[in-house]
Structure 1
Amino acid sequence: MRSLRLLIAAHKLGAGLGHTPAVEPRGVQFLRAVHTSSPPGPPVNTSSTTVARFEDAFAKDQRDKASFVQVLDLFCGRDVRRRGHIELIEAALRWMPHFGVEKDVEVYNKLLDVFPKEVFIPQNFIQSMFLHYPRQQECAVRVLDQMEYYGVTPNKHTLFLLVQTFGKLSHPVKKYQRLLYWFPRFKHTNPYPAPLHLIADPVALSKVCLERIAADRDAQLTVYQLPSSEVRDDGTVLEHAHLVGIQSPDQMCLLADHDPEHPVIVEGPFPLWLRKTCVYYYVLRAEPTAKIKEELDPERCFYYPLQLSLDLERDLGDDLSFDVDEVEEGPVYAMCMTGSGDEKTLGKWIQCLQETNPVLGQLPVLFRLTSGPQEVSPPVQEESESPKEDTRPSEEEEETRPYRRMEQ
């Protein structure tokens, strides 16, 4: 009770004296500034008008590196505090592919130079322990993420800008260190890298894709047909699509040993992605159940075999539950790429293959084709209410319905 009375008396005494500002020590003022008020820095403007103004600044007729850098220079020279720099950088990241500078490290350094310098660096241990100025650091990390997406390796100038802006222990600097750690290790891991600039010519692009799929130095590329147009007598124009094929000597030997009782199948199209371009190819293969005809050696003996297959690389402790060599998908005899995946064009490919593979003249060929990217599958027609006669095919016709047969 005594302490309570003392507190009430002190409260009345303070109310009678009035609110007189007390002079606090300099150290107390510094601590209050750290924990209560935000330190001085550039104000962040998140209004829609600012974003729209930046979007209009990049919407130009002339879109090249010089005009893109000009927008950044105008923004940096307009205001010393660079208000709205986050909105500018986010808009610039979206417009970089339109200007063709998404793979230029100098432009990314120019974007990081937009941040005000020595403002977002933590001044004490508590600020460095937490995410100091989180929105600005996340924006810088997004810039580095886009560099990672397009495969742009940062340089020493990038590190200098990040340290000058956010400090050595910031998240953008850690992201920079991870990029420099992993990029050199993954740069040469792919034995068949895709070219940086894809060729616009469909024939040349088909050659690059088929060589990438085959991965055989002895495989022979053949251009069976070039893209051309033919004007008929009635005035109609007939377009001929390109036709490029590849076949290795081993595939020719496998095709020569194919059993004539089993057909070969033209199957496709199968997609292949080269960076942002998707192309389609077709294969000539056999069924997994098809057996290759074997000629018995008259000198073969069951007690003394001619060869022994010993796998000395395996050990008793190896896991033999799954073996890639035991997966049967059927041998592939040839591959091709064409601009038109119809039976007429693919039939011409089979006729051209007969020049180097005469056995195709004795084999039945089945076409197992699906609708390509430009081909639209016909919609399934709903059954009408009027009854129809039962015209269900037999079991043999139902099995061979998806296939079409062409005997050469």
Structure 2
Amino acid sequence: MALRKTILKNSKILSASFSYYINVPQNSLRIASTDPHNKYIHTTLTRFENEGTKAVAQVGAFEKIENKNKNTYLEMVKIFINRDQVYRRGHVEFIHSALKHMKEFGVHKDLEVYRSLIDVLPKGKFVATNILQAEFMHYPKQQQCILDLLQQMEDNGVMPDREIQDLLINIFGKRAFPLRKYWRMMYWMPKFKHANPFPVPADLTNDVLELAKMAIARISGVDPQVEITEYRTKDIEDSIDDTWIVNAQSPTQRSLLEKHDPKEPVYVEGAFRVWLRDKQVNYFILRANPRPPPADIDSYDEDDVTNIEVPLFNLKPPIIKHIVDRKTVHEQDDGTIFAICATGTSSKDSLLSWIRHLEKNGNHALSEVPVVFTLRSAPKELMAQEETEDRTIESLRTN
């Protein structure tokens, strides 16, 4: 009681000494009320700064860092945590900013980094105390922030662990929405992780040639006899480009090309794209129009009942049979595929060198068959709907 009277009577002296000890300018302090029974000290500064305090991690500090790696990213998180050990004001804005710059630091697939961001939130403050608070999303801003973080983990294929579950329980309790999101992730992500019969390595190389070999082998894997061959355009005379060509062709495809009618053209089409996780590879195909079925099969009508025979004594009716060649896996409804390839430049000159290489390596029929290049611009990841594809059709006959 005596201390309260002293503060009320000597508010000016107290404000001066207060500003001296916490290093706040005295002109920023004032008495907020003239009521002698309700006086308190107010400062216009948002925070107090001492000379010995640590550096404050601002929201935009991630953009100012020159050496962007995992160590500097985790150091920024530690600086923010050490600034305020209890309340950690501004934690939601900091986490959103940290999530936004994860790809720049190369940590968007690192579980330890996501765990450290969740650890930024203070513990025990956001736990719901009754069922109404739990169902009406107690502290919705903080819960939505962690939901966005978990969603980014799922988009990048990062599977959480048990330690993240313990952090979510300590922060939000056992009835919060982030914990429910975690449980759904732990149920579905292990199932989808092992559901792909053609798995792709988690850490893909940045070598474009190795990615092309992996993509072509993945596409042509339906035929176990397929052969993956690497060509060089400089081995062809009068070639303009100096790049590599990854070709895939099987003995079955060579025999189909030898049986092809020389009067019918074959087409080089592309560029098509295949994805290996977040990396894209463009490829091209050499195909012909689909082979028509035999004439006697087309003339037979299964619904014709004019010459139907009635079986007697449990005799089966005769079955009409036709001797035809069984279709291979390369003979599809839209055409017969003779070969596929990927080149380093995806240019017309590199594709022409590809045809020349095929002709020199067992595909002699290409010297008599007209080859039509039906090319289009390489597909982009994002394309406007009204944007039309630029197509270039050029007919070349290989000699």
TM (normalized to structure 1)?
0.67
- 1:58–1:71 CA contact under 8 A, matched in 2: no
Whole-Å Cα distance in 1 between the matches of residues 379 and 149 of structure 2?
34
The structure-2 alpha-carbon separation of the partners of 1:273 and 1:326, relative to structure 1 and needing over 3 Å to count, comes to closer
The equivalences for 1:65-214 within 5 A come to 65-79=70-84, 80-214=86-220
- Are the aligned partners of 2:268 and 2:375 in contact in 1 as well (CA < 8 Å)? yes
Partners of 1:162 and 1:172 within 8 A in 2: yes
Note the alpha carbon deviations across 1:265-296, whole angstroms, 9 max, x for none. 111111222233222111100023x45999xx
Equivalent residue for 1:266? 268
Structure 1: gaps of 5 or more residues = 1-44, 46-50, 233-237, 295-301, 310-323, 375-400
Q: What residue identity is the alignment partner of 2:249? A: Q
Partner Cα distance (2:208, 2:81) in 1: 45
Within the alignment, does 1:223 sit opposite 2:214 as a pair?
no
Alpha-carbon spacing, 1:226–1:85, altered in 2? closer, same or farther (3 Å): farther
Please give the alpha-carbon distance, in whole angstroms, between the structure 2 residues aligned to 1:292 and 1:304. Answer: 16
Conserved 8 A contact 2:268-2:371: yes
| Alpha-carbon offset, residue 125 of structure 1 | 2.7
Out of 353, 356, 376, the position equivalent to 1:370 is 376
Give yes or no for contact 1:269–1:372 (8 Å, CA) kept in 2: yes
Where do 5+ consecutive residues of structure 2 fail to align? 1-45, 47-55, 296-317, 381-391
Supply the AA of the counterpart residue of 1:241. Answer: T
Moved more, 329-338 or 241-250: 241-250
Sort the Cα spacing of 1:86 and 1:329 in 2 relative to 1 into closer, same or farther, 3 A: same
**1-side partners of 2:272 and 2:322: how far apart?**
41
- Once the two structures are TM-superposed, the CA of residue 252 in structure 1 deviates from its matched residue by 1.8
Q: 1:271 to 1:87 in 2, by over 3 A?
A: same
Q: Distance in 2 between matches of 1:372 and 1:119?
A: 53
CA change 1:406–1:52 in 2 (3 A) is farther
- Cα distance in 1 for residues equivalent to 2:197 and 2:208: 24
Kindly state the Cα deviation for residue 200 of structure 1 after the two structures are TM-superposed. Answer: 2.7
Figure out how many residues of one structure are paired with residues of the other and give that number: 304
Shift of 1:342: 3.6
Are the structure 2 counterparts of residues 173 and 303 from structure 1 closer, same or farther at C-alpha, using a change threshold of 3 Å?
closer
For the 8 Å contact 2:246–2:341, the answer to whether it is kept is yes
Measured after TM superposition, the shift of residue 344 of structure 1 is: 2.9
2:357 counterpart of 1:352: yes
> Does 1:406 pair with 2:397?
yes
**8 Å CA contact retained: 2:245, 2:354:** yes
1:283-362 equivalences in 2 (<5 Å)? 283-288=285-290, 290-291=291-292, 305=321, 328-354=333-359, 355-362=361-368
Which whole-Å CA distance do the structure 2 matches of 1:325 and 1:207 have between them?
Answer: 20
Query: How many angstroms does 1:340 deviate by?
Result: 3.0
Closer, same or farther: CA 351–373 of 1 in aligned 2, 3 Å = same
Q: Deviations over 1:167-198 (max 9, x none)?
A: 10110000000000001110111122333333
Change (3 A) 1:350 1:90: same
Distance between the aligned counterparts of 1:120 and 1:113, measured in 2? 13
Cα distance in 2 for residues equivalent to 1:265 and 1:66 = 52
Decide whether aligned partners of structure 1 residues 71 and 52 sit closer, same or farther in structure 2, where only a CA change above 3 A counts.
closer
Contact 1:259 1:291 in 2 (8 A): no
State the shift of 1:263 in Å: 1.2
User: Which amino acid in structure 1 is aligned with residue 243 of structure 2?
Assistant: A
* Secondary structure class of the residue paired with 2:113: helix
* Helix, strand or coil at the partner of 1:153: coil
Q: Is the 8 A contact 1:258 1:293 kept in 2?
A: no
SS of match in other structure, 2:138:
coil
2:279 aligned to which of 277, 280, 286: 277
The residue type equivalent to 1:120 in the other structure is: F
CA distance in structure 2 between the partners assigned to 1:246 and 1:88 by the alignment: 50
Percentage identity across aligned positions?
Answer: 39
Amino acid in structure 2 at the alignment position of 1:271: R
Q: Secondary structure at the match of 2:58?
A: helix
What's the RMSD between the two structures over aligned residues?
3.3
2:63 and 2:208 map into 1 onto residues whose CA distance is 33
